[in-house]
Structure 1
Amino acid sequence: MSHLYYNAAPQETRVAKPRKAPRSYPTHKPAHIYLYGTCVVDLFFPEAGMDAIHLLEREGIQVNFPQAQSCCGQPAYTSGYTQQAKDVARSQLALLTEDWPLVVCSGSCAGMFREHYSDLFKDEPETLAQVTALAERTYELSEFLLKVCQVELTDQGEATQVALHTSCSARREMNTHLHARELLNQLTQVERLDHDHESECCGFGGTFSVRMPDISGAMVADKTQALQKSGAQQVVSADCGCLLNINGAFEKQNIPLLGQHLASFLWQRTQVKQEPNT
């Protein structure tokens, strides 16, 4: 989500939290996890959710996907609608009753669970205790694969060059760019190309892109042109909200690039090729 998106709520003041100590990780992979697909994955990139499941199941983990999951509540929260955000958050918390890790296919949504539910429920001690415990076991997908599963990927694909885009809130709150880089670096046939707008917002920002379309359009134009100038053959991101915006801009500008979720890219690159029957 864009920084402007967080500033779009004049009703309340969001106080920046102090930086936390480096996170410690479990020494063993869990037997079960919850997968939170996010509403954008569910509606626009269902293949990314399925590929995330494949990656996790390959690690010997049973993936549990609560069918009633919907939105984490972030759009309402960052627009200043605290009560509506609470209502949405409560409906999600009711689905996550087991003491299992929560793995999220988006850094911005994972950040909502891990960083902002505590602000939502700061005046409700019982619920605050629940969300604090949940935050401790919430992971963005690439973080979980790298730090908890400690995956070792074997590249089965052809040589290619990719550019990485990371959601700006995911960078700030989840270090998603660092985790994605490490995973991509394991792929011996993949060269990651830097581009000079990697740390900048793509202009999506959820409702920001609707409220301020001209500014949003200018931001995504800068982003897509930088991606094109990088010379990459493909764009990879761990956030489908950004991909939705970037891919739409690629199409509108007739730029022959396509953004793909990191889960799908990793799964496709690491499939053992089957020899044709003779």
Structure 2
Amino acid sequence: MKTALFVTCVNDMVFPRTGIAVVNILERLGHQVEVPRQQTCCGQMHANTGYRDEAMPVIRHFVRTFQGYDAVVAPSGSCVAMVRTLYPRLVDSDPQLAAAVAELLPRTYELSEFLIDVLGVTDLGASFPHRVTYHPTCHGMRALRLGDRPLELLSHVRGLELVPLKGAEECCGFGGTFSVKNPAVSGAMLHDKCAAILDTGADYVLAADNSCLTHIGGGLRRRRAAPRTVHYAEVLAS
């Protein structure tokens, strides 16, 4: 299977260890993973802020970049949700591009979907002897409907103690540009999320999106709180 890593902007620029973790996981399972150097943003920031015309060239570039792969895998529920749920709406006025997008969508996966639904793998032989809690990010939970897939993978990690997070389904308040445009509301949501995390007594907070973990991590650091934020892929690669 010819597999490509869609690393995403945030991971490429700020959290490269997450992208490396995904490659290590897939190579451990016998896959040869390519990381197309020409890949750029998926266009989510443009589209979410209302700049549809500016998003279109980015979408065309994404489709060209990942043509020819059997699977496109990303450690981001947010960016995969952009491709699978918003691309079809944004390109409906361009039949040729719409056809190319429709062909690409079934081959684009968030990591846990690819591991469980495509490869049929739940136990990666990982070990992480720590107390953790998991925050299901909004795009992964509501747009992709990842359900318990990440938790199923984490349940097979040796030594890991998974503690339920109260109000787990509630947004952390990031929402991309939402946190910039609505800082007071975003801050209040973040306060509640951090309080719930602290109540778990966890050493680590895991999620499928480093963008949300950045927001949560900032809130925890301002409280001088102990829990560290880590993408769940890095735990599975451990």
Is the TM value for this pair above 0.5? yes
SS in 1 for 2:218: helix
The reply on whether 1:172 has 2:142 as its aligned counterpart is yes
Partner of residue 17, structure 1: none
- The structural deviation recorded for 1:177 is 4.4
| Residue aligning to 1:7 | none
CA RMSD, aligned part only? 1.3
Structure 2 residue aligned with 1:45: 15
1:256 aligns to 2:226 (yes or no): yes
TM-score by length of 2: 0.95
Q: What is the aligned partner in structure 2 of residue 153 from structure 1?
A: 124
Structure 1 residues 53, 140: CA separation in 2 closer, same or farther (over 3 Å shift)? same
Distance 2:151 2:195 in 1: 21
Residue matched to 1:203: 173
**Distance change >3 Å, CA 48–CA 144, structure 1 → 2:** same
CA distance in 1, matches of 2:84, 2:20: 23
Measured against aligned partners, the alpha-carbon deviations of 1:143-180 in whole angstroms (never above 9, x if no partner) come to: 1112212222324343x221001211210122234110
Q: Structure 1 residue 118: deviation in Å?
A: 0.6
SS at match of 1:84: helix
What's the counterpart of residue 194 of structure 2? 224
Q: Secondary structure at the match of 1:94?
A: helix
Task: Please say if 1:107 is aligned against 2:77.
Answer: yes
The aligned amino acid for 1:49 is G
| CA deviation profile, 1:121-143 (whole Å, cap 9, x unmatched) | 11111111110111111110111
- Report SS of the residue matched to 1:103: strand
Distance 2:134 2:7 in 1: 20
How many Å apart are 1:257 and its aligned residue?
Answer: 0.9
Contact 1:155 1:189 in 2 (8 A): no
After superposition, the C-alpha distances for 1:84-118 in whole angstroms (9 at most, x for unaligned) are 11121112112112142111110111011111111
The farther-off stretch of 113-122 and 186-195 is 186-195
Report the structure number with the largest CA radius of gyration: 1
Given that 2:126 and 2:235 are in contact with CA atoms closer than 8 Å, whether structure 1 keeps it comes out as no
1:133 aligns with 2:103: yes
Determine if the alignment matches structure 1 residue 35 to structure 2 residue 24: no
Q: For residues 44 and 246 of structure 1, what CA distance do their matches in structure 2 show?
A: 15
- Alignment match, 1:275: none
In 2, the alpha carbon distance for the partners of 1:130 and 1:137 equals 12
- Distance in 2 separating the partners of 1:137 and 1:244: 28
Taking the aligned partners of 1:254 and 1:157, their CA distance within structure 2 comes to: 24
Deviations along 1:184-240, whole A, 9 cap, x unmatched?
Answer: 111242221112121011111111111111111111111111001012121111101
SS of corresponding position for 2:117:
helix
- Report sequence identity in percent: 38
Q: Mark the CA change 1:213 to 1:63 in structure 2 (over 3 Å): closer, same or farther.
A: same
What SS class does the counterpart of residue 237 from structure 2 fall into?
Answer: helix
1:51-87 Cα distance to aligned partner (Å, 9 max, x none): 1100011111111111121211111111111111112
In the aligned structure 1, how far is the partner of 2:128 from the partner of 2:197? 22
2:44 is aligned, of 59, 74, 80, to: 74
- Taking structure 1 as the reference length, the TM-score comes to 0.82
> For residues 154 and 63 of structure 1, what CA distance do their matches in structure 2 show?
20
- Name whichever structure is richer in helix by fraction: 2
Distance in 1 of aligned mates of 2:146 and 2:131: 20
